[in-house]
Protein backbone atom coordinates (compact mmCIF):
# COMPACT_ATOMS: atom_id res chain seq x y z
CA UNK A 1 0.00 0.00 0.00
CA UNK A 2 1.47 3.39 -0.94
CA UNK A 3 2.02 6.12 1.59
CA UNK A 4 -0.98 8.19 0.38
CA UNK A 5 -3.48 5.35 0.54
CA UNK A 6 -5.27 4.57 3.75
CA UNK A 7 -7.04 1.39 4.68
CA UNK A 8 -10.47 1.57 6.29
CA UNK A 9 -9.16 -0.69 9.07
CA UNK A 10 -6.44 1.82 9.94
CA UNK A 11 -8.89 4.65 10.60
CA UNK A 12 -9.55 5.67 14.21
CA UNK A 13 -12.78 4.76 15.96
CA UNK A 14 -15.76 6.93 15.26
CA UNK A 15 -16.68 9.33 18.09
CA UNK A 16 -19.83 7.27 18.74
CA UNK A 17 -17.87 4.02 19.11
CA UNK A 18 -15.30 5.72 21.33
CA UNK A 19 -18.07 7.07 23.58
CA UNK A 20 -19.69 3.63 23.82
CA UNK A 21 -16.37 2.16 24.92
CA UNK A 22 -15.91 4.83 27.58
CA UNK A 23 -19.44 4.30 28.89
CA UNK A 24 -18.86 0.54 29.05
CA UNK A 25 -15.57 0.91 30.96
CA UNK A 26 -17.17 3.34 33.42
CA UNK A 27 -20.22 1.11 33.89
CA UNK A 28 -18.06 -1.92 34.69
CA UNK A 29 -16.10 0.10 37.26
CA UNK A 30 -19.31 1.34 38.89
CA UNK A 31 -20.61 -2.23 38.99
CA UNK A 32 -17.49 -3.22 40.91
CA UNK A 33 -18.10 -0.26 43.22
CA UNK A 34 -21.63 -1.50 43.96
CA UNK A 35 -20.17 -4.90 44.88
CA UNK A 36 -17.69 -3.13 47.20
CA UNK A 37 -20.52 -1.23 48.91
CA UNK A 38 -22.53 -4.44 49.42
CA UNK A 39 -19.47 -6.24 50.76
CA UNK A 40 -18.75 -3.33 53.11
CA UNK A 41 -22.22 -3.77 54.58
CA UNK A 42 -22.02 -7.55 54.91
CA UNK A 43 -18.43 -8.21 55.99
CA UNK A 44 -16.48 -7.35 59.12
CA UNK A 45 -12.83 -6.82 59.97
CA UNK A 46 -10.00 -5.92 57.65
CA UNK A 47 -11.84 -7.12 54.53
CA UNK A 48 -14.64 -4.65 55.29
CA UNK A 49 -12.04 -1.86 55.37
CA UNK A 50 -10.73 -2.93 51.96
CA UNK A 51 -14.28 -2.90 50.55
CA UNK A 52 -14.91 0.59 51.97
CA UNK A 53 -11.66 1.92 50.51
CA UNK A 54 -12.58 0.37 47.15
CA UNK A 55 -16.03 1.96 47.23
CA UNK A 56 -14.57 5.39 48.04
CA UNK A 57 -11.54 5.39 45.73
CA UNK A 58 -12.98 3.54 42.73
CA UNK A 59 -14.99 6.45 41.24
CA UNK A 60 -11.82 8.52 40.83
CA UNK A 61 -10.00 5.75 38.99
CA UNK A 62 -13.12 4.86 36.99
CA UNK A 63 -13.25 8.36 35.51
CA UNK A 64 -9.54 8.30 34.68
CA UNK A 65 -9.73 4.87 33.05
CA UNK A 66 -12.93 5.67 31.15
CA UNK A 67 -11.53 8.91 29.75
CA UNK A 68 -8.05 7.61 28.98
CA UNK A 69 -7.16 8.10 25.35
CA UNK A 70 -6.56 4.89 23.43
CA UNK A 71 -3.79 5.43 20.88
CA UNK A 72 -3.74 2.80 18.19
CA UNK A 73 -1.05 2.68 15.54
CA UNK A 74 -2.16 4.12 12.23
CA UNK A 75 -4.87 6.26 13.80
CA UNK A 76 -3.83 9.38 11.90
CA UNK A 77 -6.27 10.23 9.15
CA UNK A 78 -4.58 10.94 5.84
CA UNK A 79 -6.10 13.88 4.00
CA UNK A 80 -6.81 13.10 0.33
CA UNK A 81 -4.53 15.02 -2.02
CA UNK A 82 -7.35 16.94 -3.71
CA UNK A 83 -8.70 18.36 -0.46
CA UNK A 84 -6.59 21.12 0.99
CA UNK A 85 -7.07 22.83 4.33
CA UNK A 86 -9.13 25.95 3.96
CA UNK A 87 -7.43 29.19 4.89
CA UNK A 88 -9.00 32.17 6.59
CA UNK A 89 -11.85 33.82 4.73
CA UNK A 90 -10.82 37.20 3.40
Digitized pLDDT (tens) for each residue of the chain, 90 residues in all: 455 555 556 666 777 888 888 888 889 889 999 999 999 999 899 999 999 999 999 889 888 877 776 655 555 555 566 566 666 766
41 in a domain, yes or no? yes
CB 51 within 8 A of CB 36: yes
24 in a domain, yes or no? yes
Please indicate, yes or no, whether the overall pTM of this predicted structure exceeds 0.75.
no
The count of domains in the chain is 1
1 in a domain, yes or no? no
2 in a domain, yes or no? no
3-state secondary structure of 23: helix
CB 33 within 8 A of CB 62: yes
Supply the pLDDT for residue 85. 64
21 in a domain, yes or no? yes
25 in a domain, yes or no? yes
20 in a domain, yes or no? yes
Domain extent at residue 60: 16-66
43 in a domain, yes or no? yes
Amino acid sequence: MSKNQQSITSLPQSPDEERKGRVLRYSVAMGVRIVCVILALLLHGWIQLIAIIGAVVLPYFAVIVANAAVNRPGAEVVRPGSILPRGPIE
